[in-house]
Amino acid sequence: MLTLDSIAIPDLHPDAPVATRKARLTDIEAIHELIGYWAARGQMLVRSKQLLAETIRDFFVLEAAPHEGRPGGLAGVCGLHLLAPDLAEVRGLAVHPAFQGKGLGKTLVLACEAEGRALGLPALFAWTYQQKFFEACGYTRIDKTNLHPKVWSECQRCAFFENCNEIAMLRSLD
Ligand X SMILES: CC(C)(COP(=O)(O)OP(=O)(O)OC[C@H]1O[C@@H](n2cnc3c(N)ncnc32)[C@H](O)[C@@H]1OP(=O)(O)O)[C@@H](O)C(=O)NCCC(=O)NCCS
Q: Which is nearer to ligand X, 85 or 135 (CB)?
A: 135
Contact letters for ligand X, residues 12-51 (x by CB under 6 A): --------------------------x----xx-------
Q: Shortest distance, CB of residue 11 to ligand X, whole angstroms?
A: 16
Cα distances (Å, whole numbers) of residue 80 to 121, 123, 155? 11, 12, 17
Pairing of strands 7-9, 18-22: unpaired
Nearer CB in complex with ligand X: 19/85:
19
Stretch of 59-67, 92-100, 145-153, 156-164 lying at the interface with ligand X (CB under 6 A): 92-100
Query: What are the start-end ranges of the H helices in the chain?
Result: 28-39, 49-54, 104-119, 131-136
Residue 105 in the binding site for ligand X (CB under 6 A)? yes
Element (H, E) at 146: none
Burial class (CB within 10 angstroms; exposed 0-12, middle 13-18, buried 19+) of 158: middle
Nearer to ligand X, 28 or 105 (CB): 105
* Cβ neighbours of 162 (radius 10 Å): 7
Q: Which residue is nearest to ligand X (CB)?
A: 105
User: By the 8 A CB rule, do 151 and 90 touch?
Assistant: no
* Residue 59 lies near ligand X (rule: CB under 6 A): no
Please say which residue, 74 or 93, places its beta carbon nearer to ligand X: 93
Question: Does residue 150 interact with ligand X by CB under 6 A?
Answer: no
**Is 62 a binder of ligand X (CB under 6 A)?**
no
Minimum Å gap between C-beta 31 and ligand X is 13
Residues 6 or more apart whose CB falls under 8 angstroms from that of 117 comprise 173
Which residues form the interface with ligand X (CB under 6 A)?
A: 38, 43-44, 93-95, 100-106, 126, 128, 130, 132-133, 136
